[in-house]
Every structure is written in C-alpha cells, then in structure tokens.
Amino acid sequence: MNYRTIQEIWRQDIGPQLRQIRLEKKQTISYVAGQLKFPVDWVDIIECGGKLSLKKYYRLIDYYGKKIYIQLID
C-alpha cells in the first residue's frame, strides 16, 4: 500500500493551481519570488507541489489574494 500524507496530497493539488494563477497574471517566477523575498527555486518547488513548509505555500496563496476552502465530500 502506498501511503501519502494529507500534506503531500494537498501540496500536489495546490501547486499546479498556483502556477496557473501566476501564468494567468502574466508574472514570471522571478518577479513573484522577488515580491515575496523568496529564492526563485522556492516558487518553482511550490508550483510543482514539492516539499516546502505549508507556511511558504500560504504566503504565495495570500500574495495572489486567494483563500483555501476545505469541504468533506462522499
């Protein structure tokens, strides 16, 4: 059985959505990284759903003015 944590699933779901938002806003990774004072590779790691702290994900989400909504479904 392949066990994945909720954090891994969450990162892999949110990361590509954040990349799409950046592309829709026509912003480069380096521009976003500069605005957040992040290294460029952090933004890339986040957008790929990689392993960085959730706090860094939240900062990028907040930068885009987005909110997270969690819902239980059947």
Concatenated DSSP letters for 8-28?
Answer: HHHHHHHHHHHHHHHHHTT--
Task: Please state the rounded mean pLDDT for residues 6-16.
Answer: 90
Q: For residue range 19-34, what is the model confidence (pLDDT) as tens digits?
A: 999 999 999 999 999 9
* Whole-number average pLDDT of the chain: 92
pLDDT of 2 > 70? The answer is no
Residue with the larger pLDDT of the pair 66 and 71? 66
pLDDT band at 46; cut points 50, 70, 90: very high
- The percentage of residues in the chain with a pLDDT greater than 70, rounded to a whole number, is 96
